[in-house]
Amino acid sequence: MTDTPLSRIRNFSIIAHIDHGKSTLADRLIQVCGGLTAREMTSQVLDNMELEKERGITIKAQTVRLAYKAHDGLTYQLNLMDTPGHVDFAYEVSRSLAACEGSLLVVDASQGVEAQTLANVYQAMDANHEIVPVLNKIDLPAAEPDKVKQQIEDVIGLDASDAVMISAKTGINIEGVLEALVTRLPPPTGDANKPLTALLVDSWYDQYLGVVILVRVRDGRLKRGMKIRMMSNGAAHLVEQCGVFTPKMIPTDDLGPGEMGYITAAIKTVADCNVGDTITDDRNPAEVALPGFKPSIPVVWCGLFPVDADDFEKLRESLGKLRLNDASFHYEAETSAALGFGYRCGFLGLLHLEIIQERLSREFDLDLIATAPSVVYHIFKNDGSMEPLHNPADMPDPTYIDHMEEPWIKATIMVPDEYLGSVLTLCNERRGQQSDLTYVGNRAMAVYRLPLNEVVFDFYDRLKSISRGYASFDYAMEDYKESDLVRISILVNQDPVDALSFIAHRSAADSRGRAICAKLKELIPRQLFKIAIQAAIGGRVIARETIGAMSKDVTAKCYGGDISRKRKLLEKQKEGKKRMRQFGKVEIPQSAFLAALKMDA
Amino acid sequence: MTDPLALYIHWPFCLAKCPYCDFNSHVRDRIPQARFAAALRTELAWEAARLGRRPLGSIFFGGGTPSLMEPETAALLIADAQRLFDAAPGLEITLEANPTSVEAGRLAAFRDAGINRASLGVQSLEDESLRMLGRQHSAAQAVAGLELARRTFPRLSFDLIYARPHQSLTAWQAELHRALDLAADHLSLYQLTIEPGTAFEALHRRGELVLPGEDDAAALYEATAAAAQAHGLRQYEISNYAAPGAESRHNLAYWRYGDYVGIGPGAHGRVTLGHDLVATRRHRAPEPWADRVERDGHGSTAEEIVSQPDRAREMLLMGLRLHEGVDAARFARRTGMALLDALDPEVLAMAQDEGYVVHTPERLIATAEGRVRLDALLPALLR
Ligand SMILES: Nc1nc2c(ncn2[C@@H]2O[C@H](COP(=O)(O)OP(=O)(O)OP(=O)(O)O)[C@@H](O)[C@H]2O)c(=O)[nH]1
Ligand SMILES: C[S@@+](CC[C@H](N)C(=O)[O-])C[C@H]1O[C@@H](n2cnc3c(N)ncnc32)[C@H](O)[C@@H]1O
Ligand code: SF4
Ligand SMILES: [Mg+2]
């Protein structure tokens, strides 16, 4: 199995815009190559996380080895990597690309080129990939393959004359894809006799196996029982198991040059396992490490706090395990006056934030409160020093601040003509500056510079709703620019709730303040007493709402016999209250923290 | 404690089980009259023996449907109680009765047995609602029963259930006005409650029985209090209305957290024994209860000493239901702790500001606004 000559190996990623059918195509490829029996096959079989199944999206890239007997009579080893489409998971895509020589660029023939089609294909080009365009969903009546081919040539500049036309769903022309892989993608290069170099592509925590590492071998051989060394820090480990995914985990004796697979090695510390690291032979180490990956830079931060303070330890452990599984997620300890001990966590976007929060609650059974998401500001103090600010609560008194800068992004938005007007209005409302506007057929492509702060909150949701779902969006960080920013504090019954404070541009402060007060009024259940919710800049109140007192409720009949039962009920209710976070006697449900900031501006 | 005792006697049988009812009531083909009469007398004697002679302020025959018991049984139990305890002047002896024709003819016999107050389970004055509530009597029978009871007993109360499915404010007001015209000096007006384990709960869960919403229920409640008040019946407890001086002495003992003895299946009690306040409980199922009484002289199950914080909580949760509130001196005597020490000072201050409670050195009173929110107020206010 492992003695496949390099010439008969093909490593490829499947890349596309969200929902264009990557995972469905992966299903068909697995099926045609006999990786799974019909009984074992489910839809989007590689989306094995519960969350992926529920939301119908890919979050983690997945790897599968397939055996394909080609028309030339030879059997090829195909290593497939299915990648996520959403912009928040671009880091997953970039790592997969680094492990392959080619890409299948899937484009939905009824939708055409979208923002992430562009973002991903440019990444693949940067990785020097051979790219095979695949037009999917040709079974749909709305499919316009010729138009989309033209788009691929015009917008991306790729030759689409040999694009493979398929339907991943109904299985049309899957052979065509396989043949294109074999004939059009280059085989990997590598030398089995050189010292071992293998790229650490991904890692995760498995309940039974411990830490599992996904690798791509360049040179040498990775064998069971061998002592390996992580080149970044010198840590050495014994390889307990190595193997491949078919997609079932199948142990093998070794992994040779050009191959992809997994190893387990009783690795205890997360720090010993960095994606992008090079794994080498401890006894015969390579001299030069592989290029590795650019570290991911979180763009959105928020605080995560356990609802029950006793869960702090559990949160710490869980974050460690998750981080192992998701290298793009960052965290550092934080304390809050309102919420106690927790972590400040960094994410690649709001969907990423939402997914991590969900995973913490589902996979680790943690009840968490998330604070308002914030971008990273640069604070220039009077003494000339600069401090990055991850947490609005940490903003120094304005008298110490000379000026502040906020991050800007370059956003690419593709949208059908008829919705362009509202999209431009939205961008302008969000302080956007247009830098380009071009047309591809009846679709417009607008390139805007926008403050990230304006995008983080609900930009994506708004964009989708004003375009009836037709607009697509991608962004990349640009630079920092000076800005007139203020911190808005939220006070509940005169007490500031540090976890709800946020930073906004002065021009948007009043409307944001009003909107969040109104939203909190909706989200905080009526309490026993009237409560005031205020937004303030420094000592100046800019918005106020009042939540009326509690609904009326009293047990109608209560005699002698009921007393013990009534008392026990009362004690239970008191217990329940203790577990809730109290802000001057106001109970704020955890859902309020994130939802409060996902409001319409 | 110098307060007179309140004696509760439970009769666990009914003609049929009402779908909303979670009381300890059971239906039997033939009610074992003699056996239960004897067992109740045995248990009363057992309880009296350990309590010693104390003043007795009230007796209450509750159920189930105690008007199904033989009047002779009531007579024997009343005579026993008067012999075993010191009957206080104006000893109040109440019988819960259902206005079915079966029992109407026996009311005079109950009066002769010593009953001086009747409480009739009328529930509604509308036939359709009575059917919905699974009652065995018509509105006309209820009215006839009320008139007969009024002629028979010196004191009379009756129960109605409102905030029923689909009940409009105007319909209830009309029904309530007829009820007030029929009322003597006392009324119990309960909002329909969905109790766990009842037939109504199952319907409710399936969405086949829909109660008025929070706001509508609150409006019904407030209209009820106002109408009764205008009719000279004061709301002395959340669901109970009486002409001045006509309050149920027996039920006041519960709400003021006095000593009460409970005998019969499932009955609860709170009695002072030595320096302790003891929570008593009887086996719930009727026949096994009777077996135990026959074997041991009583059907009591595990008894517990009520701790000081629990006494404080119980006294407050009962007392704040009363218009008169909780008396500070009485509270200190009954619980051994100061009233203020039982309360969260911050919540007390807010509750005063908000007008939910009035606090004086003598007493703590929940206002009308406070009482309608009592279920939410209590867990916050109590320590
Ligand atoms: N009609 C039709 N529908 C398809 C075809 N291929 C995929 N789909 C549907 O398109 C939707 C998205 O498919 P996925 O395979 O999950 O798309 P994806 O690109 O993996 O999505 P992400 O991982 O979230 O980026 C699903 O509802 C599929 O059933 C096709 O050839 N024809
Ligand atoms: C001990 S019970 C029943 C007395 C008697 N057996 C009868 O039904 O007339 C006392 C009163 O509680 C009230 N009640 C019982 N269950 C109720 C419920 N689920 N909701 C509201 N009131 C209820 C009824 O008004 C009933 O008359
Ligand atoms: S409501 Fe009265 S009659 Fe109906 S079951 Fe309950 S106790 Fe018996
Ligand atoms: Mg997918």
Range with the poorest average pLDDT among A471-475, B190-194, B261-265: A471-475
Scanning the structure block, which residue is given the tokens 């923290």? A593
pLDDT-derived band at B325 (thresholds 50, 70, 90) equals: very high
Q: Would the CB atoms of A563 and B268 count as touching at under 8 Å? A: yes
CATH code matching the domain that covers A378-483, chosen among 3.40.50.1220, 3.40.50.720, 3.40.640.10, 3.30.70.240: 3.30.70.240
Which residues of chain B form CATH 1.10.10.920? 309-381
Tokens read off for A513:
């303040």
Q: Which CATH class is domain A197-281?
A: mainly beta
- Comma-separated ranges of CATH 3.20.20.70 domains in chain B: 5-254
The CA-based angle B122-B123-B128, given to 5 degrees, is: 105
The reply to whether residue B318 touches residue A558, judged by beta carbons under 8 angstroms, is yes
> Sorting pLDDT into bands at 50, 70 and 90, what band is A470?
confident
CA distance B253 to chain A (A): 9
Distance of CA B143 from the midpoint of ligand 3 (Å): 18
What percentage of chain A reaches a pLDDT higher than 70? Answer: 94
Output the DSSP codes for A132-150.
EEEEE-TTSTT--HHHHHH
pLDDT of A112 over the 80 cut: yes
Give, in degrees to the nearest 5, the angle at Cα A395 between A391 and A401.
Answer: 140
One fold for both A378-483 and A487-597?
A: yes
Q: Name the superfamily (CATH) of residues A6-184.
A: P-loop containing nucleotide triphosphate hydrolases (3.40.50.300)
Specify the range with the lowest mean pLDDT, choosing from A217-221, A548-552, B26-30, B37-41. Answer: A548-552
Closest CA to B382 of B330, B345, B329: B345
The torsion angle over the Cα atoms of residues A179, A180, A183 and A186, rounded to 10 degrees, is -130
Q: Whose CA is nearest to atom 16 of ligand 2?
A: B21
pLDDT in the model for residue A316: 94
Query: Sorting pLDDT into bands at 50, 70 and 90, what band is B103?
Result: low
What superfamily would CATH give domain A300-373? Elongation Factor G (Translational Gtpase), domain 3 (3.30.70.870)
The class (CATH top level) of B309-381 is: mainly alpha
Confidence of residue A543 (pLDDT cuts 50, 70, 90): very high
Taking residue A127's Cβ as centre, other Cβ atoms within 10 Å add up to: 18
Distance CA(A442)–CA(A415), nearest Å, equals 9
By C-alpha distance, which of A337, A351, A455, A431 is closest to A391? A337
pLDDT digits (tens, 9 = 90+) for A73-94: 999 999 999 998 887 888 888 8
Give dist(CA A287, CA A231) in Å, integer.
9
Both tokens of residue A585?
Answer: 């006697």
- Tally of residues, chain B: 383
Q: What is the CATH number of domain A487-597?
A: 3.30.70.2570
For the CA of B21, the nearest atom of ligand 3? 6
CB atoms within 10 A of CB A234: 10
Q: Looking at per-residue confidence, does A55 or A212 come out higher?
A: A212
pLDDT range class, residue A40, cuts 50, 70, 90: confident
CA B160–ligand 2 middle distance (angstroms): 8
Q: What is the 3-state secondary structure (H, E, C) of A183-224?
A: HHCCCCCCCCCCCCEEEEEEEEEECCCEEEEEEEEEECCEEC
Question: Is the pTM for the entire model greater than 0.95?
Answer: no
Mutation site, A527, A566, A567, interface B, largest B CB count within 10 A: A567
Distance from residue A413's CA to the centre of ligand 4 (Å)? 21
What is residue A579's predicted lDDT score, i.e. its pLDDT?
Answer: 47
Q: What is the ipTM of this complex?
A: 0.85
Residue A563: its chain B contacts at CB < 8 A?
A: 254, 268, 270, 314, 317-318
Residue spans per domain, chain A: 6-184, 197-281, 300-373, 378-483, 487-597
Residue of B378, B381, B382, B383 to mutate when probing chain A, most A C-beta within 10 A: B378
Cβ pair B283, B289 in contact under 8 A: yes
Instruction: From residue A246, give the alpha-carbon distance in Å to each of A12, A160, A259, A261, A263.
Output: 15, 31, 13, 10, 15
Q: How confident is the model at residue B1 (pLDDT cuts 50, 70, 90)?
A: very low
Tens of pLDDT, residue by residue over A491-541, are 988 888 887 888 999 998 998 899 889 888 888 877 777 888 999 998 899
Please state the rounded mean pLDDT for residues A395-417: 92
How far apart CA B252 and CA B258 sit, in angstroms, is 8
- State how far the Cα of A593 lies from the Cα of A280, in Å rounded to an integer: 46
A437 has a pLDDT exceeding 60 = yes
Residues in chain A with CB shorter than 8 Å from the CB of B279 are: 564
Tell me, what's the pLDDT at B133? 97
pLDDT of residue A460: 82
The string of pLDDT tens digits covering residues A331-343 is 999 888 777 899 9
How much is the average pLDDT of B207-231? Answer: 92
Q: Would you state the structure tokens that stand for residue B79, as one six-digit string?
A: 């005579």
Q: Residues enclosing ligand 2, CB less than 6 A?
A: A 556-557; B 20-21, 23, 62-63, 65, 96, 98, 121, 123, 159, 161, 190, 192-193, 195
Please indicate whether, in this complex, the C-beta atoms of A558 and B238 are within 8 angstroms of each other: yes
By CA distance, what is B23's nearest residue in A?
A561
> Rg of chain B's alpha carbons, rounded to an integer?
21
- A2 pLDDT exceeds 60? no
What is the percentage of chain B residues whose pLDDT exceeds 90? Answer: 88
* pLDDT tier for residue A1 given thresholds of 50, 70 and 90: very low
Contact B195, B224 (CB under 8 A): no
Between CA B161 and CA B154 the distance in angstroms is 24
Exposure letters B64-83 (e unless 16+ CB within 10 A, then b):
bbbbbbbbebbbbbbebbee
What is the pLDDT of chain A when averaged over all its residues? 87
Could you give the C-alpha distances from B16 to A39, B19, B35, B74, B135, in angstroms and in order?
A: 56, 9, 21, 22, 8
What whole-number distance in Å separates Cα of residue B371 and Cα of residue B322? Answer: 9
Rounded-to-integer distance, Cα A466 and Cα B364, Å? 57
Asked if residue A84 lies in contact with residue A119, where contact means CB atoms within 8 angstroms, the answer is: no
Query: How far is the centre of ligand 1, averaged over its atoms, from the C-alpha of A20 (Å)?
Result: 5
**Which residues from B are below 8 Å from A560, CB to CB?**
6, 8, 254, 260, 262, 268-270
In CATH terms, B5-254 corresponds, of 3.90.700.10, 1.10.645.10, 3.40.50.970, 3.20.20.70, to 3.20.20.70
Give the pLDDT band (50/70/90) at residue B352.
very high
Burial of A455 per CB tally in 10 Å (0-12, 13-18, 19+): buried
- Closest-CA residue, ligand 1 atom 24, reads A57
pLDDT value, residue B245 = 95
User: For residues A355 and A445, what is the distance between their CA atoms, to the nearest angstrom?
Assistant: 29
Is a pLDDT exceeding 60 seen at residue A601? no
